[in-house]
Amino acid sequence: EDKVVQSPLSLVVHEGDTVTLNCSYEVTNFRSLLWYKQEKKAPTFLFMLTSSGIEKKSGRLSSILDKKELFSILNITATQTGDSAIYLCAAPTDSWGKLQFGAGTQVVVTP
């Protein structure tokens, strides 16, 4: 059975800290791994990773995939209160794109 596991489930940091979120996966026909940010509404797409070792970066957020060890990390540097959200990791389990989600990591950034 395909599965995606995120850790930690939640964390609280102070503004300016760096956070690292983990996502491990077991997917039979692995194609890609995606990160989303969910505040009160829609999950917002952050990154899609397909190749091992190539970092994707967007502002203070970055992510990398390790296909040998079957995990990905999402880093947020110089955190701001606006980074408070649930961060979701997901992997498609078939060629149609059906996503298997992790339970998410709730990040709280305090002023």
91 with 72: CB under 8 angstroms? no
Region 69-98 residues binding other proteins, contact defined as CB under 8 A: 88, 90, 92, 94-98
Find the binder of other proteins among 11, 61, 84, 101 (CB under 8 A).
101
Q: How many residues does the chain have?
A: 111
Tokens 């998410």 sit at which residue? 104
Q: Are strands 10-14 and 105-110 parallel, antiparallel or unpaired?
A: parallel
Residue number with CB closer to other proteins (4 or 109): 4
Residue number with CB closer to other proteins (58 or 95): 95
Sheet holding 71-76, edge to edge: 3-7, 19-26, 71-76, 61-66, 56-58
Q: Is 36 in the site for other proteins (CB under 8 A)?
A: yes
By the criterion CB under 8 A, which residues form the site for other proteins?
Answer: 31-32, 34, 36, 41-45, 48, 88, 90, 92, 94-104
